[in-house]
Each structure stands twice: as C-alpha cells, then as structure tokens.
Chain A
Amino acid sequence: MDQNTKIIELRNISKSFNGEQVLKGINLDIHDKEFITLLGPSGCGKTTTLRIIGGFVTPDAGDVCFLGEKINSLPPYKRKVNTVFQKYALFPHLDVFENVAFGLRLVKTPEKEIVSRVREMLALVNLSGFEARSVDLLSGGQQQRVAIARALVNNPKVLLLDEPLGALDLKLRKEMQFELKKIQQRLGITFVYVTHDQEEALTMSDTVVVMNGGIIQQIGTPQDIYNEPVNAFTASFIGESNIVPGIMHADYLVEFEGRNYECVDMGFDKDEPVEVVVRPEDIEITPASAEFLCGTVTAVTFKGVHYEMLVECLGKTWRVHSTDFSPVGSEIGLRITPEDIHIMHRSPESSQTASDSEEGGEEN
C-alpha cells in the first residue's frame, strides 16, 4: 500500500436524524497514511461522518468502503478502525494498564505480548509508570493519552479522533497537536480528525475537508484551503477575511469598491460578477492618497503580534492586521497587491453565507 491507496471511500452518503438531514451526499476519499481533518462549525455533520466511518451510525443512503470493500452494515467491533472519543470514554473500573490492554485481551493475546505492547504504547504517549493508576485520578491530558494508547495498541489501519483536544487548555492543546502529528508520522497510519478549530486543522493536517450544512465545501491541503478558498463560507470560516463583491473585467483584472485591481486569477467570464477575498494580514496600511482605497480607522485592538484595525471605506468595514499602529479617527490608505487578491465565483448560497458571517464578524 502506498499513499495513493484509497483506504476509505464515502460515496453519496446521506443521513437524517428525526427528519433533519445532517449529511447531504458526502463523497470523500481517504488515502493511506494521510492526516485528514473534517473541519466545520457545530452541526455541520463532521462528527456524524466520523461515526459512520466508525460504524456507530448507519447511513440512510450511500456506501462506505474500506479498501474497496463495502462495509455499510459491518458493526464497529469488526472494523479495522479505532476511535478516540470526545470525552475519552475510558473504562472507570479498569486501571490505565487494563484500559490499554482491553482490545488485546479480547483477541486472546498472550500475556507476555500484552505486557510488552501496552508498555510500548504507554511509552509512546509518555505515560510510562502510570500502569497501575486509576483513570479517574488522571488529568484531562493524561486521560487523553490513555485513550490514544488504548486505540493505537490494536494496530488500526485508521484512527478516528473526535475533537480529542476540545477539553484541554490552550497550552496543552498545542503540545498535543504536535505530539499527535509526531505519533501519526511515526506509526504511519491514517488519522481522521474532527475539529471545529481551524488553526488546529491547518497545523496538523495533510488534507482538510471543510464542511457546512451537511455538505463538503472544499477539500484540499491547508495551504489550498487558506490561500484559495472556493467559496465565501470557506474563506470566512478559515482565518479572517474581507469579502466584497467585484466584477472580473478580464483575466488578471478585477474591479471592486470602484477601482480596478490587477490580480493573479484568470479563467472567468468577461464581466462576471465575483467575490473578492482579501486576508486582513495581507493589507498594508499607507498614508491616505488617491492611489489607494482610503478610509477612517474606527477601532483598534491590540492582539499581541499585531494590531487589528477596523477601517471604514465607502460604507464598508475592512478588517486589517498590521504591526503598524494608526489611531482611531485617522485617515489611512489600504495597499492591496495582486497576490493578496483571491477571486471566487459567486453563488447565491455563498453570497448569503458571506454576508451572514460578515455581520457576525462586525459584532465581535
């Protein structure tokens, strides 16, 4: 098997709960040794997708394939995948060792092998010496590690992780992100990771699957997802964005906010209405001049690495991240270079989402 082997395929998966459709025709290929992240807001269907792969939920329509074989109705205990549950789901009546050994005991592994493999896994997650501890006496981070060891000891082909770091504090979360990635690379198995945290998704993944409303919005590398969002939802969910309507006059030429800008996008219809995405950190502030789009600073927040400024230009609020400081009330120009401009096709749905999320952004 190599990295091009499709280990799991989802074909036209639909699922409803109590008449509410949570998945609307999901198509997804998961390759061997890949770190793939399902990313989206709560209720987008990412956890349901994971549970379908794990076998806890049966899809209403569509197929789940494992190495080309249909496994729609195969119960979880017969699948070669293991899950790290959101709240860890450690067995409270067993100590750390027995929790990790659980899967090995079920297949009647010799005691000697159990001991060596459990030790090996606990070493992998930095919990050597915790064998006899009660799981109730562990910290959240330690419980998390036991859950990972308990799943990995069974040598799964695929490890499913359902928001595993959600309950940890920021510092621990960062450490665990790094460690999980390291473990994944060392063991060379496929990780399917569910999160609503875009930063986590971008940091760890080989592939990010952006989901919203039971539909996959975009599949791509973290760089693709961030730099070339295909619609306003992705653009506004991944990182922060200024999204404005524009008109694509020709290849490499777009008009928005009453000005023509050179850009790097092509292949649109002549004068096609489009959506223009500009990341706040890509905008450079300059003294106001007729050369640039100009506006008044209405708010400044210190964010540590940079200042976040809201700039009112032609009745529209632009979000700008810059290490340069401009006081509230000052007139500034916004310099936007061709590489900073990302053009997206406009769809009725995406423009709707865009304005929704923009409103949400301004309230903050």
Chain B
Amino acid sequence: MIKLNAKWASYPYIVWMILFTVLPLLLIIYFAFTDRTGAFTFDNIEQAAAYLPTLVKSIYLAAIATVICLVFAYPFAYAMSRLSFSRQKMMTMLVMLPMWMNFLLRTYAWQALLEDNGVINSLLTSIGLSPLKLINTSGAVVLGMVYNYIPYMILPLYSVMTKIDKSLVEAAGDLGAGFFATFRRVVLPLSMPGIISGTTMVFVPAVSTFVISGMLGGAENYLIGDLIEAQFLGNSYDLNCGSATSLLLMVVVLITMAIFNRLDSEDAEEALL
C-alpha cells in the first residue's frame, strides 16, 4: 500500500532542489571567489562593491514601488474580501488577467504610452498642453514596477483577509471599537502575514529587475539587474564579476527583508499596546 506520508515521496523534490537551487548557488559562490584561471581571489567582490550606488538606487526604487503597491492593494484587497463569493471570483480573475499577458509586451505597451512622442504626450499636445518628460525617468521605472507586480501584493493580502472571521470584526465593534480602532487592533495585525508575503513578492523581483528599468528607465536608471545582465549576456561579459554582483545583491536583499520583517512584527506589537 502506498502511504502518502512516506519518506520517499519527498525525494524527487529534494533531488530537484539540489540540482536547481543548491548546485547553482554553489557555482555562483565558486565563480564569485575565483578568477579566470580558477584561483581563489577577493577581486570580484571588491569590484562588485564599487557598484554599491547602483544597488542602493535599485533598493530605493523597489522600496518606493513596494510601498505604493501596499498602499493601493491593501484597501482594494480588504474591499474585495468583503464581496459576495461570485464577485470575489470575478475580481480575482480581473486582478490576474494582466499576468496572463506577456511581461515584455506589457512593458512595451507602457513604453508606447510614455514615449516622448507616445500616446500620452500626443494627447497632451493635441489639446494644447506642453509635452511631459515621462519615459526614461525614475518615475517611469516605479510605475512599471507597480503595474507589473501589484497582483503579487493583492493576492496574498486578499487570501489572508478572506480568512479573517467576520465575527472578529463584529466582536471588536461589540466591545466598543469604531472603524479605525477595529482596523488598527484587529484587521491590521491579523493581515500582517499577507503584508509580509506581499511585500516580499513585490520587492524581491522589483529590486532585481532589468526589463522594466531597461525599457522605461533609460541610461540614468541603470539598476543592479541591468548590470548583472550586462555581465552575463551583454558587452561587459565577466562571469566572475557577475557572480560576485549577484551574490552581493542576494545578501543585501536577504538582509533588507530580515530587517523589514523584524520591523513589521515590532510594528504589529506596538500597534496593539
């Protein structure tokens, strides 16, 4: 008889993880600490550290995009979770619909909208206004990040909020809490897991993006993702330095997320006291 909890059921996944997660990571580490001849060196790390300003800018833009996503997605997800079941299903579909379209195509569409002679500026000049500088700005990059990643914020928030028992909200009201007190003392702390997973799911891809910054940001918004892409595929091919930069990015993202999660849980506790 086959037992579902049998140990061997996890073996394929363990093999998969070793082959496609652990091994590549070890390779990256190996390349990051060796030169072209294979000798151990810190040169790559030192070189990657010189890209710190680019990394800071990436984190800065990704953080802004994450905050904007959270601000827009939170009330939306809450409202969505209070709809009737059939409406909820429809809204989930609408949220996910853009995700079924190709990522590149969506970003191209924004490029067409924001270009100097793009749709928005044509519209502005046609009604007699002066055109705006939209494309190749940090704002365009943040917009692209928000547009592309907001479903990853909405969905975890929504799924946490549907699990908040309505009777808890009623109980808070019964005990004397008005709308804001109920939100601060019950809904917000109970939706914290959704906030954490939503911000992670937006921040991590946003901080390492190269498509959005490459297509909407121009030369001034060269981010760490663009840099890594150039080192692996582009004109400044350098496998070792690229690995070192990737490693640096990974470490910085992990530290940022750790600090962020820590802040989050402290915030939650403070809100209750």
Contacts and interface: CB of A to CB of B under 8 A. Distances in A.
A56 B181 CA distance: 17
B171 A77 contact: no
A54 B174 contact: yes
Contacts of B174: 54-56, 76-77, 81-83, 151
Contacts of B272: 93-94, 98
Given A92-B190, A106-B181, A77 B173 contact: yes
A308 to B, nearest CB: 39
Interface string B164-187: 010110111111111001000110
B189 interface: yes
A102 B185 contact: yes
A90 B172 CA distance: 10
Contact of A91 (B176, B178, B186, B268): B186
Contact of B170 (A85, A150, A154): A85
Contacts of B181: 106
Contacts of A106: 175-177, 181, 185
Interface string B228-270: 0000000000000000000000000000000000000000100
Contacts of A154: 175-176
Interface string B79-118: 0000000000000000000000000000000000000000
A87 B175 CA distance: 16
A186 to B, nearest CB: 22
B173 to A, nearest CB: 4
A19 to B, nearest CB: 16
Contacts of B190: 92-93
A56 B176 contact: no
A25 to B, nearest CB: 26
Interface size grouping (class) on chain A: 20 to 34
Interface residues of B, number: 19
A86 B165 CA distance: 13
Contacts of B185: 102, 105-106
Interface string B189-201: 1100000000000
B177 A91 contact: no
Interface string A121-165: 000000000000000000000000000001100100000000000
A89 interface: yes
Question: In terms of DSSP, what is the predominant structure of the interface of chain B?
Answer: helix
Interface in A86-125: 86-87, 89-94, 98, 102-103, 105-107
A105 B172 CA distance: 12
A77 B171 CA distance: 9
Contact of A102 (B172, B178, B189): B172
Given A91-B186, A98-B272, A103 B176 contact: yes
Given A77-B178, A106-B181, A89 B165 contact: yes
Contact of A89 (B171, B176, B178): B171
B189 A76 contact: no
A93 B272 CA distance: 10
B163 to A, nearest CB: 10
A128 B181 CA distance: 28
Contacts of B175: 77, 82, 102-103, 106, 150-151, 154
A86 B168 CA distance: 12
B189 A93 contact: yes
A239 to B, nearest CB: 33
A82 B190 CA distance: 22
A85 B189 contact: no
A87 B167 contact: yes
A338 interface: no
A124 B223 CA distance: 63
A164 to B, nearest CB: 13
13 contacts: A75-B173, A77-B173, A77-B174, A81-B174, A82-B174, A83-B170, A91-B168, A93-B190, A93-B268, A94-B272, A102-B177, A106-B175, A151-B174
